[in-house]
Amino acid sequence: MSDAHLTERPVDDGPEPVELTDEPIQLSRRDPAHDPEERRPASRRRRIALAAALAVGLAGLGALGVAGWRVLEQKDTKLSPPTEIAGLTRDDSERARSTADYLRDGFAADIELDRSFGTVYSDPRDTGRAVLVFGGTTLLWQPERDLDSLFGLMADETGKVTGLREVRAGRLGGVMKCGTTSGDGGDFAVCGWADHGSVVMAIFPGRTVDESAALLRQLREGIQSR
């Protein structure tokens, strides 16, 4: 083969020439698929990713299980206002019953309840500190959201509820909130609780929010059962 023949050969007829360097080319004879040293980083990453995904999945299942158990525990609730509770006496007079019925009917019009009630408790020590309690039982999937909605509806009737905040719900769980609103007799506290089986609100003339929250927890202990 002559040099003339090589120079006459077009460049496009073949692959690009290999560029040679002075550095030696290192060839690996190891197969990554069978080499533990090559497989370890990828294998470790896979294990970490799998463990993380499993942990997230288990956490989700755990949260779902806790929420499901809470619904089952709270959904079958009964509300029965006793004659006397927390130093208060249920007022069964015609005027009190009329007020209680008005509150109960208005409340039941805003939320679909299985059973509803309305009660007025008088304070023997001060007639101006009667407590109005009304609510009912139903299955609530989002108790806090529904309670907030009811506070909003009450604001439409009595005026804006200010300073609304969450307070300790006590042994029966769920969520409890209190705030302040205005009426013909001035400012008064309004509190409510909600769980997956009940929602109740109460009006506390002549009492502070902290006093009302503590009293509502006592009332709840005597009114609610599961």
Are 120 and 104 in contact by the 8 Å Cβ rule? The answer is no
SS3 for 111? coil
> Model-level pTM greater than 0.85?
no
Are 88 and 131 in contact by the 8 Å Cβ rule? The answer is yes
Structural domain contains residue 65: no
Interval 80-138: pLDDT, tens: 999 999 999 999 999 999 998 988 888 888 788 999 999 999 999 998 899 999 999 99
Of the candidates 150, 172, 169, 147, the residue with the CA atom closest to the CA atom of residue 74: 172
**Token duo for residue 75:** 């959904």
More confident residue, 54 or 97: 97
**Token duo for residue 146:** 């529904």
Distance separating alpha carbons of residues 67 and 12, to the nearest angstrom: 72
Of the candidates 167, 168, 164, 169, the residue with the CA atom closest to the CA atom of residue 150: 164
Structural domain contains residue 82: yes
Q: Phi-psi region for residue 193, left (φ > 0), alpha (ψ -120 to 50) or beta?
A: beta
- Look at residue 66 in the predicted model and tell me its pLDDT: 57
Are 196 and 219 in contact by the 8 Å Cβ rule? The answer is no
Structural domain contains residue 50: no
Structural domain contains residue 93: yes
How many domains would you assign to the chain?
1
Distance separating alpha carbons of residues 66 and 70, to the nearest angstrom: 6
Q: Categorize the per-residue pLDDT at 6 as very low, low, confident or very high, splitting at 50, 70 and 90.
A: very low
Structural domain contains residue 155: yes
Interval 168-181: pLDDT, tens: 999 999 999 999 98
Mean residue pLDDT across the chain: 78
- Look at residue 108 in the predicted model and tell me its pLDDT: 82
Structural domain contains residue 204: yes
Structural domain contains residue 148: yes
Are 191 and 150 in contact by the 8 Å Cβ rule? The answer is no
Of the candidates 69, 79, 104, 63, the residue with the CA atom closest to the CA atom of residue 194: 79
- Look at residue 4 in the predicted model and tell me its pLDDT: 45
Domain that holds residue 134: 78-225
Structural domain contains residue 36: no
Q: E strands along the chain, which residues? A: 78-79, 84-85, 88-90, 115-122, 131-137, 162-167, 175-183, 186-194, 198-205, 224-225
CATH number at residue 151: 3.40.1000
Half-sphere exposure of 118 (CA within 13 A, CB side): 15
